[in-house]
Amino acid sequence: MRDLNLTSEYENCLICPRKCGVNRINGERGYCGTGPDPVVNIHMLHQGEEPPITGVRGSGAVFFEGCSLKCIFCQNFDISRGPTSKGTSYAPGELSDLYLDLESQGAHNINLVTSGHFIPSIRESLKTAKRNGLKIPVVYNSGGYESVDSLRTLEGLIDIYMPDMKFFSPELSGRLAGAPDYFEVCSKALDEMFRQTGPSVIGDDGIMRKGMIVRHLMLPGKLFDTKKILDYLCGKFGNDIYISLMNQYTPLEYKYKDMHLPDFLKRKLPHGHYAAAADYLSLLDQTNAFVQEGDASGDELLPNFKN
């Protein structure tokens, strides 16, 4: 039997910024394509995150299916388009058990990957897990397109926010994610995330305890957009947050064949553009930053999703 509070939130769904208003309980599907029950594709000790998240034992990553953003170039394309036949539905109590199992395996944290369209269930699962002894930090790993109202319901449950800031240009975000309001929405979401966690704290063991890491995946030919995002993040938060500048964009056209990729997304990121952005980040006096060495494109950093 579902919790009545959860039921009401899914009956007229306003959880994400799309505010579809559909009744997910009765089978209606909004932009995310999912029902009320969180669908997990895989959970694992993941070695592909930033150093203070991965550590030596790995991050306890839980990869949810579906997405409220659905960028046409999504690197997790296999599971972000909506529920697959391989995903497993979990009630909040079952998710709680999953987190505790990952903790028992040695995970440095619980890493909720693209869970925003299931926030009511996530909230209840974390409350249960913490009552049952969960001690490690909880990471909210997000595309950055989040509702402030929904994020507020997670206060006290999330230790580390790890959002993307993908786009500055409304034209670009509208074309690639159907969200011309992306930067405006993401900026407000980051403000709320930072309000909840405060400045970043990393322990003596190199593992992050609380705070925010903002990721930016550079896209080929969009260096100007990247610089605008770096200007904003450094001017707003400075070294109270970490910035992860990523060069791993991979033009996986065999996956995106129905997505009508624009020509600039059919090639890798030029090395010179990444070097220029990394230098620019340094000129902004951002010392709390992660940059990738060499060519990080390809699917080596991606989990082997069930599909």
CATH code assigned at 251: 3.20.20.70
The larger pLDDT score, comparing residue 85 to residue 167, is at 167
Structural domains of the chain, count: 1
Q: Is the pLDDT of residue 16 over 80?
A: yes
User: Which carries the bigger pLDDT value, residue 13 or residue 85?
Assistant: 13
Q: Average the pLDDT over 187-201 and give the result.
A: 98
Residue 259 lies in a domain: yes
The confidence score (pLDDT) of residue 304 equals 72
For residue 259, what pLDDT is reported? 64
Kindly state whether residue 226 falls inside one of the protein's structural domains: yes
Mean pLDDT of 94-123: 98
Tell me the mean pLDDT in the region 44-55.
97
Whole-number percent of the chain with pLDDT over 90 = 83
Residue 297 domain flag: no
The verdict on residue 117 lying in a domain is: yes
Residue 192's pLDDT is 98
Average pLDDT, the chain: 93
Evaluate whether residue 23 is within a structural domain. no
pLDDT cut 70: percent of the chain above it: 93
With contact defined as beta carbons under 8 Å apart, do 112 and 141 qualify?
yes
- pLDDT tens for 24-43 read 999 999 999 999 999 999 99
Domain of 188, in residue numbers = 41-291
User: For residue 255, what pLDDT is reported?
Assistant: 57
8 A C-beta contact, residue 128 and residue 92: yes
pLDDT band at 1 (very low <50, low <70, confident <90, very high): very low
Q: Is residue 14 part of a domain?
A: no
Residues contacting residue 129 through CB under 8 Å, at least 6 positions apart: 95, 96, 99, 100, 110
Give domain status of residue 11, yes or no: no
Q: What's the pTM?
A: 0.94
Separation between Cα atoms, residue 183 and residue 171, nearest integer Å? 11
Assigned domain for 52 exists: yes
